[in-house]
């Protein structure tokens, strides 16, 4: 028998979330961001659930190759572009578009343009640093970068990334970044790609771009970490992480649980041991009180939240089921998903939904 933990990937939820994005930004095309193995959901599931997207955006050529081998013939965007000059040959073979954020990349692309024979030139998304201060050309450098690539025969789209789209009181604001972006590209031909998940959710009414780049919202989790945002946007969780109870312990008052004896009982309690630990990707730093959904007598739909007690170990967690006397070995649990929003778990564990989704280990079966 296989260990009972598995991740159920809801491809119908992916399709639903993509449609909700189209409703929020009806005039824009959608790059569905599937980096980090589709945020832990798997590229094959993402391709099935997001088959109606306009394009897929990701980081590395291996993932692009996988999409092509699985039958995707539409656009693919490499979000960090070329990592070496040799990458350009595989980029053209796979017919990928490239983000360009550094003058070294421009040097490589100019050399390729001069030496090419019949190879098609990739479309370029030229990245402007308007305040995120990670990748991209400063506004002062941007026109030089644009004209060099334009002169080399490349078709360009203007691109930037918002630092604070999920905040209302931080600088630079979305409006400030958008204004700087528009001023710095004034008079330069080409479309635009601006909005991430947070900008789509909260700034779609003031920020327009030809292409948007949703990531976390496609998977039904919030860019801000507030699960209420997902409810308001009518998004659905695309992953439910399931397991089962594999043991029951009855403890008297004054006894401790797990490594380091972090949790000590004050009164007699009943503990369920669940097959899930940090080797499965569950956060080791999750504190006592982190929620876990435990099935009721009639199944998961009639279950309720129980609280974790004791340190997360490699393969197990423990939860207090004193108030659920029907729970026994084999009882179903949901670590996060349709009954327990991932953002609630992340909030309790002092992290974000992104990390939990991406951290689900390869040993956890995807269904």
With beta carbons less than 8 A apart as the criterion, state whether 308 and 319 touch: yes
Map residue 103 onto helix, strand or coil: helix
- Distance between CA atoms of residues 36 and 49, nearest Å: 16
Taking the C-alpha atoms of residue 165 and residue 169, their distance in angstroms, rounded to an integer, is 10
Tell me how far apart the alpha carbons of residues 153 and 156 are, in angstroms, rounded to a whole number.
9
CB atoms within 10 A of CB 182: 13
**Distance (Å) of CA 248 to CA 188, 306, 359:** 67, 14, 27
Distances in Å between the alpha carbon of 54 and those of 29, 75, 80, 217, 324? 6, 7, 19, 16, 47
Catalytic residues: 35, 259
Is 20 marked as a binding-site residue? no
Q: Is 280 helix (H, G, I), strand (E, B) or coil?
A: helix
Give the integer Cα–Cα distance in Å for 134 and 318. 40
Of 115, 363, 366, 152, which is closest to residue 239 (Cα–Cα)? 366
314 is in an annotated binding site: yes
Q: Looking at the chain, list the stretches that DSSP marks H as alpha helix, in order from N- to C-terminal side.
A: 11-24, 35-39, 43-49, 61-69, 87-93, 103-115, 139-151, 174-184, 197-202, 227-233, 342-348, 353-359
Tokens of 248: 């029951």
The annotation places the binding site at 134, 314
The annotation places the binding site for substrate at 134, 314
């Amino acid at each position: 028998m296989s260990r009972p933990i598995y991740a159920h990937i809801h491809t119908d939820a992916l399709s639903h979330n993509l449609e909700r994005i189209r409703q929020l930004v009806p005039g824009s095309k959608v790059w569905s961001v599937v980096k980090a193995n589709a945020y832990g959901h798997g590229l094959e599931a993402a391709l099935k659930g997001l088959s109606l997207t306009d394009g897929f955006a990701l980081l590395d050529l291996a993932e692009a190759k996988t999409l092509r081998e699985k039958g995707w013939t539409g656009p693919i965007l490499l979000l960090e572009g070329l990592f070496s000059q040799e990458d350009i040959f595989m980029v053209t073979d796979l017919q990928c578009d490239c983000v360009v954020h550094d003058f070294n990349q421009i040097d490589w692309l100019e050399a390729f343009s001069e030496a090419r024979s019949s190879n098609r030139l990739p479309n370029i998304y030229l990245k402007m640093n308007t305040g995120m201060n990670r990748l991209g050309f400063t506004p002062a450098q941007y026109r030089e970068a644009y004209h060099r690539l334009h002169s080399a025969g490349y078709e360009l789209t203007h691109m930037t990334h918002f630092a604070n789209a999920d905040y209302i009181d931080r600088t630079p604001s979305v409006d400030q970044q958008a204004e700087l972006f528009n001023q710095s590209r004034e008079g330069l031909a080409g479309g635009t790609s601006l909005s991430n998940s947070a900008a789509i959710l909260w700034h779609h009414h003031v920020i327009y771009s030809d292409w948007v780049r949703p990531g976390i919202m496609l998977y039904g989790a919030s860019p801000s970490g507030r699960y209420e945002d997902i409810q308001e946007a009518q998004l659905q969780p695309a992953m439910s992480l399931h397991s089962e109870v594999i043991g029951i312990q009855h403890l008297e008052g004054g006894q401790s649980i797990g490594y380091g004896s972090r949790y000590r009982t004050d009164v007699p309690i009943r503990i369920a041991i669940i097959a899930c630990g940090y080797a499965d990707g569950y956060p080791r730093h999750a504190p006592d009180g982190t929620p876990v959904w435990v099935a009721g007598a009639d199944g998961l739909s009639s279950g309720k939240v129980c609280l974790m007690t004791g340190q997360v170990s490699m393969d197990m967690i423990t939860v207090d089921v004193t108030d659920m006397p029907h729970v026994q070995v084999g009882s179903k649990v949901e670590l996060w998903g349709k009954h327990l929003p991932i953002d609630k778990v992340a909030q309790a564990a002092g992290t974000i939904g992104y990390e939990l989704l991406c951290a689900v280990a390869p040993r956890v079966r995807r269904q």
